[in-house]
Amino acid sequence: MDSDSIRAVSQSNSIAFHPCTYLVLSISVVGIYLYLVYVMESSVSIHQKKDRATRIAMQFNEEQRKRRAQNRPRLDSIIEDEAESISPRSSVV
pLDDT band at 56 (very low <50, low <70, confident <90, very high): very high
Q: What is the mean pLDDT of residues 29-37?
A: 95
> What stretches of the chain adopt beta strand conformation (E)?
none
Pick the range with the lowest mean pLDDT from 24-33, 71-80, 84-93: 84-93
Instruction: Supply the range of the domain harboring residue 32.
Output: 12-92
For the chain, the domain total comes to 1
- Asked if residue 6 belongs to a domain, the reply is no
- Asked if residue 25 belongs to a domain, the reply is yes
Question: Burial level of 15, CB count in 10 A (0-12/13-18/19+)?
Answer: exposed
Count the neighbouring beta carbons within 10 Å of the beta carbon of residue 55. 10
Given a cut of 80, is residue 35 above it in pLDDT?
yes
- Asked if residue 7 belongs to a domain, the reply is no
- Asked if residue 45 belongs to a domain, the reply is yes
Which residue from 19, 18, 1 is spatially nearest to 10, judged by alpha carbons? 1
Burial 41-50 (b: 16+ CB within 10 A, else e): eeeeeeeeee
Q: Return the pLDDT at 73.
A: 64
Given a cut of 90, is residue 25 above it in pLDDT?
yes
